[in-house]
Amino acid sequence: MSEFVQMRNEKLAQYVIKGLKSRNMSGYYAANKEEALKIALSLIPEHSSVTMGGCMSAIEIGLVDALKTDTYNFIDRNQYQDKRAAMLDAYDADVFLTSANAMTKDGIMVNIDGNSNRVSAIAQGPKKVIVIAGMNKVCDDLDSAMKRARNVAAPMNAQRFNLSTPCSVNGTCFDCKSPDTICCQFLITRYSRHEGRIHVILVNDNLGF
């Protein structure tokens, strides 16, 4: 990565962090994946119950592997036969890991969900929410963030899950009502009423979708 891209990302991240603070959320800048991992682990007390909502970014920085030890109580939904039970357990977890499909430069987060377990847990339930987002997720405003979520993140996730949606075939949103659509619920997080609940780690890398 060019030093000038890195410099730009760091300056932009500091601007986003100010926006998050004004919205009662905490922001952090990580220069790389290794630093992001250290910040994330510093926010998770030992023996905490931790779960996640399909967060590729957490996997990419090595956080999931780090949590699968005796030091933490990692709730791995892939180990549940009853997927609904795994989703419900997330609401009472100490820590919920997620990313953002998009984020505005003044600190508003946009997330789209199919089953809605992820967006509902961000909004209410877990005691702490840790958002891991690459700088590729930052957009100018809410309109461009919504467009990114629908036209970049959603098609990629539909392809990842091998879903039969128009966006999976064509790579862009058709505002469909396909039975396979993952654009069922839209969550715009513009403010956190509970101080210290939502923590956003901005990573100087392209992470997730």
pLDDT digits (tens, 9 = 90+) for 85-135: 888 889 999 999 999 999 999 999 999 999 999 999 999 999 999 999 999
**22-77 tens-digit pLDDT:** 999 999 999 999 999 999 999 999 999 999 988 999 999 999 999 999 999 999 88
Read off the pTM: 0.95
* Residue extents of the structural domains in the chain: 3-140+187-203
Query: Minimal CA–CA distance to 111: which of 77, 157, 74?
Result: 157
Helices H / strands E in the chain, number of each: 9, 10
Whole-angstrom distance, CA of residue 77 vs CA of residue 101? 21
Residue 46 main-chain phi, psi, to 5 deg: -60, 145
Q: Which amino acid does the sequence have at 157? A: N
96 bridge partner residues: 51, 129
Contact 95, 41 (CB under 8 A): no
The label of the residue with tokens 């986003």 reads: 16
- Phi, psi for residue 14 in degrees, rounded to 5: -65, -35
Predicted local confidence at residue 136, as pLDDT = 97
pLDDT score at 54: 80
- Residue 173: count of CB within 10 angstroms of its CB: 20
Residue 101 and residue 109: Cα distance in Å, rounded? 8
CATH assignment of 3-140+187-203, among 3.40.50.300, 3.40.50.10420, 3.30.70.100, 3.10.20.30 = 3.40.50.10420
Rounded Cα gap, residues 5 and 9, in angstroms: 6
